[in-house]
Homo-oligomer: A and B are copies of this chain.
């Protein structure tokens, strides 16, 4: 299984009064990492609009292990765990760039494929074909 690495900087806008990243904002980082990956495969938002193929989040589980601090350099390590007929399961870890053993949080995200009316649809073959090299389990 191939891991995709996405680097990012913690900005002031991500933090809260407790001095750390506000807990929902870690999901933003996970989203960016998935988006950039999909985009790099040629399946970005332009492609999605052209083919009436959209992605929506069905569920998210996130374990918070350690807070991230303003202006830290982090990276998201993303794995595609499963390709189902109409959804994808991602596992994503956020860690310090300088100390990759320091895991900040771990998430499992289920992404469903939907059409223009928000109804589920099967993943197009092009999507399955481009993603399957990254994944152990096929639909």
Contact = CB atoms under 8 A, between A and B. Distances in A.
Contact of A71 (B20, B45, B64): B45
A127 to B, nearest CB: 18
Contacts of A24: 13, 24-28, 31
How many copies of this chain sit in the oligomeric assembly?
4
Contacts of A59: 61-64
Q: How large is the interface on A (under 10, 10 to 19, 20 to 34, 35 or more residues)?
A: 35 or more
Given A11-B32, A13-B31, 15 more contacts: A12-B16, A12-B35, A13-B28, A13-B32, A15-B17, A16-B16, A17-B19, A23-B60, A24-B25, A27-B27, A45-B70, A56-B64, A59-B64, A60-B60, A61-B61
